[in-house]
Chains A and B, each alone.
Chain A
Amino acid sequence: MDSFATAFAEAGALLVSFDPDFLSIVGLSLRVSLTAVALACLIGFPLGALVALARFPGRGVIVLLLNTFMGLPPVVVGLIVFLLLSRAGPLGVLGLLFTPTAMIIAQTILVTPIVAALTRQIVADLWVEYGEHLRSLDAGPVATMTTLITDARYSLATVVLAGFGRAIAEVGAVMIVGGNIDHATRVMTTAIALETSKGNLSTALGLGIVLLLLALAVNAAVQIINASASRRAVLA
């Protein structure tokens, strides 16, 4: 119990010390996860909207896969990306293994199905409401998708944050493809795992607290966005 309190105190000190190593770990975490989420949205929004609106053979299978892949185990994604990027793998020549780029790729694969599956549901629901009006206007596919994604923006903001929560908190994929190399590919979650196993509980806990604060900020952002959206009566 005493060591727990000590760890907390040291964690607090670490937080306010602005230790450069510590900051670089937090910075890399944000860089990797934010980039991955941005890429996942770039793919997932149109993909989700397309699956929601288009009727084509095999659509049911894609919906099933997207929903299943929402729960992809990070270590499995890590392993697959590792195999792809390793020297002997099909993309080995790119030399990306154990770089932040590899981590971004792995997290993008992890987050894209979440963004696409949730977007599909949101866009499909909105289509039920908007469909006849948009068809009455004779809106083309691009105008239709743009309208639905624009008008679902508040719900989609929640999707973005859900994706970010998934990316920033996962450890399995970035550990495998990043390698947890100091000053190169070490992020918060891999650092926590390492410091815990080394017995540096205060450092681990300090990083854990930052992670929790980020989660708090993310959830607060969701709540504020939703509150302002319902105040402006655009959510319901």
Chain B
Amino acid sequence: MSGPASILPLQVSHLAFEANGVRLLDDVSFTLQAGRRAVLLGPNGAGKSLLLRLCHGLLRPTSGEIRWAIEGRARRQAMVFQRPVMLRRSVIGNITHALAVRGVPRGERTARAEAALALAGLSPLARRPARVLSGGEQQRLALARAWATEPEILFLDEPCASLDPAATRSVEALIEGFHAAGTKIVMATHDLAQARRIADEILFVHKGRLIERGDADSFFDAPQSEEGRAFVAGELLW
């Protein structure tokens, strides 16, 4: 969205991550093309969040490679966390801050922030301190903030994990809005129902490994792997 050439596809090859000698991700390889909504699916502790953070550049891999189609990639990505990080500023201040960090000229920030707030249905709350918002409103603000920076790819780490169904619906609608605008969606979730609603393609992660990958429909209909079948059937996997 912010330049002629795309930073996608994202190529991840033989990615591994260790912390304190424990291998948390091992030999993960995949390619993400623009367009289709990708969902990293798997039980808690599978390594989904880790994988998102590695792709986004918040963590350094122990080994393996993460390659974007072009350089200068960091500024064309955005990430929304499970617990939204709310700056001690007003709702609109949270967005104008992000724009300022990204070097958007002062004169453009307010208009862009207001547009993003309108999209997220937060315009009436623009002057409130961000930290008094409800959990759902905070997550919508985090998405509006990401929206304002016009990312080409958006990483979402369990964005609805602590939200009620209504808030979850509004967050999912916003994610849909990103998708419609051409932003690549990469979301981690352990929620099968949500994965069914959102995913075009599934990357099923278990115990630090990418177990299988495929179209969402075929994954949910007939998972290829033992672990995938057990997870879709709702049997616990450890």
Chain A interface residues (CB < 8 Å from chain B): 129-130, 132-139, 143, 147, 151, 232-236
Does B131 reach chain A (CB closer than 8 Å)?
yes
Main secondary structure on B side of the interface with A:
mixed
Tell me whether A143 and B101 are in contact in the complex, defined as CB-CB below 8 angstroms, given that A132-B81, A132-B85, A151-B88 are known contacts. yes
Q: How far is the CB of A34 from chain B (nearest CB, A)?
A: 27
A138 touches B132 (CB 8 A): no
Q: Which residues of B contact A (CB under 8 A)?
A: 53, 56-58, 74-75, 77-79, 81, 85, 87-89, 97-98, 100-102, 129, 131-132, 149
Is A136's CB under 8 angstroms from B58's CB?
Answer: yes
List, in ascending order, chain A residues with CB within 8 A of B53's CB: 132
Interface of A is mostly: helix
Beta-carbon contact of A130 and B87 below 8 Å: yes
Choose from B58, B89, B98, B131 the contact partner of A135 (Cβ within 8 Å): B58
Which of chain A's residues have a CB closer than 8 A to the CB of B87?
130, 133, 147, 151
- Can you offer 21 A-B residue contacts whose CB atoms are under 8 A? A129-B85, A132-B58, A132-B85, A133-B81, A134-B101, A136-B56, A136-B58, A136-B78, A136-B79, A137-B98, A137-B149, A138-B75, A138-B101, A139-B101, A143-B100, A143-B101, A147-B97, A147-B101, A151-B88, A233-B129, A233-B131
CB of A13 to closest CB in B, whole Å: 47
A138 contacts across to B, CB distance below 8 A: 74-75, 101-102
- Among A134, A137, A147, A232, point to the contact of B129 (Cβ < 8 A): A232
Residues of B contacting A133 with CB < 8 Å? 81, 85, 87
Q: Which of A130, A232, A233, A235 contacts B85 (CB 8 A)?
A: A130
In angstroms, Cα B128 to Cα A232, docked, is 9
Chain A residues near B81 (CB-CB < 8 A): 132-133
Rounded to whole Å, the gap between the CB of A194 and the closest CB of chain B is 46
Please, which residue of chain A has its CB at the minimum distance from the CB of B81?
A132
**A134, A136, A138, A233 — most chain B CB neighbours (10 Å):** A136
- Give which listed residue, B58, B74, B85, B131, contacts A236 with CB less than 8 A: B131
By a CB distance below 8 angstroms, the chain A residues around B98 are: 137
Nearest-Cβ distance from residue B78 to partner chain A, whole angstroms: 7
Complex Cα gap A173–B132 (Å): 46
Smallest CB gap from B131: residue in A: A233
| Top 3 closest pairs, chain A to chain B, by CB | A133-B85, A234-B88, A138-B74
Separation of A130 and B98 alpha carbons in the complex (Å): 12
Residues in chain B near residue A236, CB distance under 8 A: 131
B213 CB to closest chain A CB, in angstroms? 25
Residues of chain B within 8 A of A147, CB atoms compared? 87, 97, 101
